[in-house]
Amino acid sequence: MQTVLGCFQERLAYSEEPMEDLAGKKMKKKCTKCGEVKSSTAYYGKKTKETHCKTCTNARVKKYALTERGYLNKKYRDMIRKDSKKHSASGRHFTFEEFLAAFEKHKSIYGMRSAWGPGVDNIEQHLPITTIVTFDPDKKAKRISSNLSVDRLNPSGEYTLQNIIFIRGDENSRKKDTTYNDCLIHIKLYEERYGTDDLE
């Protein structure tokens, strides 16, 4: 909740000034959602533009965050933020709609399972992914390990439609910044020690 609302409030903070009529009295306004008449400070927006009170707006933001689309929207914004930190002069990103389409494509292949695994012929070995939002204000709270995480196949590259994969949080943290070459080295060392006989 905190994080989601934080973003929303940041955007609106600049316009959060009390509305006053000519006599300098604070004006009251009826919320078109809940129908309650509330003072201007009960609204995020400026003057008459905002028609929903803070309580109703917060409820709407929270409800959206709990949907799959809301979850993906948060992931999308995190992704853009991470990319712009690393690659300040980077080109345009793909849109949220394109991101959604990429996830739909993922689902058409794996369903609500991770891309991490041996492939569609052994889909049962791909672990399920979740999109659970907890609104825990404690930032150090344990993450939900099965939650969807957007990972890059090439960790030094940007988030592009070619580079992203949809996996689980626990798989992503296990894999971290492992590169293609890391994997080749890992396989080579493994085979030197154990051979390939006991591999399934």
Tokens describing residue 146: 């099965």
In the complex with Zn ion, the residue whose CB is nearer, 34 or 109, is: 34
Among 19, 44, 50, 56, binds Zn ion (CB under 5 A): 56
Tell me how far, at minimum, the Cβ of 39 lies from Zn ion, in Å. Answer: 12
Stretch that binds Zn ion, among 54-62, 121-129, 132-140, 178-186 (CB under 5 A): 54-62
The residue range among 24-32, 59-67, 147-155, 164-172 that interacts with Zn ion, by the rule CB under 5 A, is 24-32
Q: Which C-beta is closer to Zn ion: that of 5 or that of 80?
A: 5
DSSP string, 117-186: SS-GGGGGGSPB-B------S-TTSPP-TTBEEEEESSTTS---TTTEEEEEHHHHHHHTT--HHHHHHH
d(CA 164, CA 172): 12
Footprint on residues 27-46 left by Zn ion (CB under 5 A): 31, 33-34
Q: Are 42 and 54 in contact (CB under 8 A)?
A: yes
> What contacts 128, CB < 8 A, 6 or more positions away?
112, 113, 114, 146
Shortest distance (Å) from residue 52 CB to Zn ion: 6
Which residue number, 30 or 143, has a Cβ lying nearer to Zn ion? 30
Instruction: Rank residues 4 and 56 by Cβ distance to Zn ion and give the closer one.
Output: 56
Binding site for Zn ion (CB under 5 A): 31, 33-34, 53, 56
